[in-house]
Amino acid sequence: MSELPADIVLRVDDLRTYFEAGSRVAKSVDGVSFDVKRGETVAVVGESGSGKSVTSLSIMRLLSAPGRIVGGDILYRTSDGRVLDLARMPEKAMRGIRGQEVAMIFQEPMTSLNPLYTVGDQIMEMIKIHEPVSRMEARKRAKRMLELVEIPAAERRLDEYPHQMSGGMRQRAMIALALACNPRLLIADEPTTALDVTIQAQILDLLRRLQAEIGMSILFITHNLGVVAEIAHDVVVMYAGRVVEKASVDALFDNQKHPYTRGLLACIPNAARDRSESGERLRLNPIPGSVPSILALPEGCSFAPRCSFTTAECDQNPSLLAAGPDHLSRCWRHEIL
């Protein structure tokens, strides 16, 4: 299992994470595979319920019961070059990975920090868990982290509580916390979804700059294709627990080879496109229907009920098919798209 190409930090291979309650099995993640290269960003895109967050929690091994990884590998290359399978690590060894090697930031900056401790204490705690440093030293590093994420008056902010900060400021503090131990991989689970667009742009900018400076890899979970265009190198589109399309960001925005991806892009309102010739506003283009329940997936292609390209073939679920160089699509008709 140690044959992992040198430029790859994380390889998720045929990951299957199920939630089992009695005889009912929700296959939230069903055979997902992708690679994250060193210093690059992979965006995982999909609607709520597509399994993107469960994928990220599986990598961190922070699934809550009854969620369980039932198969597949999560190969990770540590900073000292060892290749570990996170899917099978004992819980105790996993603690050395979390925060130190793989760190995570979350969607809700308002609630992701503990309201009862100062921001400084929470960053220092992270450092002291993983490194034998003095309180003074930890505080100095925490201050440097706040400066790194461009929080003004870092010294004073260290002693502030989360409720004294704005949402954007808290997300910066959260990023400072996550990066405090120089992780090689940052998992960002919808980190900008709860923020204003202006703040969102600032945070994306910050992440991109930090990536260039520190050289970390980012696994970016989002439902927002606009954000993907900003930050990703590669894109993985998920639907109902499976990868439906995978490509580099340029190839994907150039030519979508899966009707779902095409639908997602068409959903983004566009003032110029959504006008008729006489200048009237046209209706938006939502994807009809909604994500099927993971407990009752349709036979065959799970997107077929919402798809306008279906043929008889779609009764059979396709595997990921090559749709171009480094471009995979789970659609029988990717050639005509």
Partner 1 sequence: MSRYVFQRLLGMLVVMFVVVTIVFIIVRIAPGDPAAVMLGPDATAQDVSALRTRLGLDSPIIVQYGIFFGQLLQGDLGESIFLNRPVLTALADRAEPTFFLTLFSILIAALIAIPVGIMSAYWRGSLFDQGATTLAMLAASIPSFWLGLILIQILAVRWGVFPVSGYGGPGASLMTRLSHLVLPAISLGVVSSALILRFTRASMLDVLNDDYVRTARSKGMSEFRVIMKHAFKNALIPVLTVIGITAALLVSGAVVTETVFGLPGVGSLVVSAVLRRDYPVIQGALLIIAALYVLINFLIDMLYLLVDPRVRY
One of 10, 29, 75, 104 touching partner 1 (CB under 8 A): 104
Window contacting partner 1 (CB under 8 A); options: 126-134, 135-143, 281-289, 325-333: 126-134
As given in the structure block, the two tokens for residue 18 are: 């199920």
Question: Which CB sits closer to partner 1, 125 or 274?
Answer: 125
Q: Does 125 bind partner 1 (CB under 8 A)?
A: yes
Query: CA-CA distance, 96 to 116, in Å (whole number)?
Result: 25
Q: Does 99 bind partner 1 (CB under 8 A)?
A: yes
Cis peptide before 318 (omega within 30 of 0): no
Question: Which CB sits closer to partner 1, 59 or 244?
Answer: 59
One of 36, 43, 119, 126 touching partner 1 (CB under 8 A): 126
Strands 102-105 and 185-189: parallel
Q: Does 290 bind partner 1 (CB under 8 A)?
A: no
**What is the pattern of x (binds partner 1, CB under 8 A) and - over residues 231-260?**
------------------------------
Question: Which CB sits closer to partner 1, 94 or 320?
Answer: 94
What DSSP element (H or E) covers 324? strand 321-324
C-alpha radius of gyration, the chain, whole number: 21
Q: Does 132 bind partner 1 (CB under 8 A)?
A: no
Q: Does 103 bind partner 1 (CB under 8 A)?
A: yes
Q: Does 129 bind partner 1 (CB under 8 A)?
A: yes
As beta bridge partners, residue 74 has 12
Residues 177 and 126 sit within 8 Å (Cβ to Cβ): yes
Least distance between partner 1 and beta carbon 87 (Å): 17
As given in the structure block, the two tokens for residue 116 are: 């009862």
For 50-80, the DSSP string reads SSHHHHHHHHHT-PPTTEEEEEEEEEEE-TT
Residues 247 and 234 sit within 8 Å (Cβ to Cβ): yes
One of 5, 90, 115, 279 touching partner 1 (CB under 8 A): 115
Cβ-based burial of 177 (10 A; exposed 0-12, middle 13-18, buried ≥19): buried
**What is the pattern of x (binds partner 1, CB under 8 A) and - over residues 79-98?**
---------------xxxxx
Q: Does 100 bind partner 1 (CB under 8 A)?
A: yes
Binders in 159-198 for partner 1, by CB under 8 A = 161, 163-164, 174, 177-178
Taking alpha carbons only, the member of 273, 274, 262 closest to residue 306 is 262
Contact set with partner 1 (CB under 8 A): 60, 62, 94-100, 103-104, 106, 108, 111-116, 118, 125-126, 129-130, 161, 163-164, 174, 177-178
